[in-house]
Every structure is written in C-alpha cells, then in structure tokens.
Amino acid sequence: MRYLACIRPNGSLVEKLMKEPKMVRTDIGLHCTLWGFNTFEYYESELVESFSKIMADHFSTSIFSGEKFKNFDSELNSYVLLLLKNPEFCGLHAKILNASRGFDKEEVLFDRMVRAIGNSKYNPHIALPGIVKSSDIKDNYIGKDINVSSYELLKKKGTWKHVHTFDLK
C-alpha cells in the first residue's frame, strides 16, 4: 500500500489557490510531500507509533518560485510552487525518510528513490493540478509564508485516506 507523509499549506493560501479557475480538485488535496513509500497496511499502527517519536519544531517556509517540473505528473500536467528548503524543512524530511525506511517493503526501490529525490535532492513543492504555466495564476504567490505546525500521514486505498496528523512542537 502507498503511504505519504505531507504538509498542508495554510488555510488562507489554500482558499486563494482553490479559486484559481483552472485548478483541478483531487482527492489528495493541496499538499507538499515530505516522503512517499510502500508498506503493508498491517504495519500502520507501528508506523504511526514510529512517526509519533519524531521530534521537530514547527517552522515557516515560503514560496520562492513557480515553475513546471518536466514530467512531474503526466496525468495532471501540474505546475508547481517551489518552497524554500530551509534546515528545519530538510530536517523533518530526513527524519520522516529515516522513520519510514524500516517499513518499506521494497528496500531496493526505496534506496533508489532516496538517491534520486531524497535528502539533498529533495525539492519541496506544492503541485497545482490543472495549472500548466505561471500565466494561469492570477495572483502573485511568490513570498507567501507557510507555517508548518503539523504533518499528515495518508494512505492510498482507492482514494487517499487520512491516517494520522502529527503535531510539531
């Protein structure tokens, strides 16, 4: 089963983005992926317990750029808002990556993904499904702050389902 640890942008930012006329609504909603991995559902309570032990302070980040990733998502053709990759953000990503490592059922794939997009190669962003170029965005989002006080664990079971929210201190 696919699991995803992610943060959600601030409520006011989400409201503003969801008013964009070309925005496609998806079951996962607007989010920034911290890490995705595959594991068995019967590990879920242990996974939640492991993630509950992650100690991290709340932090702020901001939107510093907007660009389209090549082949980001061929189905949604998403434009993305890149987020400032500060030490607190990278630290939370690394802790989640490490906590999920022992649960992943495909260790070789997990390690390949870490080498490809994890740790120093991690690029935090918010995908905007349906918006394919910056001119489709009416307002200027660059510089908008996002306060991160929690993160979520989701699982793909038909649609994306909420598993648990973890508060940062």
Domains of the chain with bracketed CATH: 2-167 (3.90.1140.10)
Residue 152 has pLDDT above 90, yes or no: yes
How deeply is 88 buried, as exposed, middle or buried, from its count of CB atoms within 10 A (0-12, 13-18, 19+)? middle
- Our CA dihedral for 47, 48, 49, 50, rounded to 10 degrees, sits at 50
Q: Does the structure show a pLDDT above 70 at 60?
A: yes
> What pLDDT does 101 receive?
95
Q: What is the pLDDT of residue 71?
A: 47
> Do the beta carbons of residue 27 and residue 159 sit within 8 Å?
yes
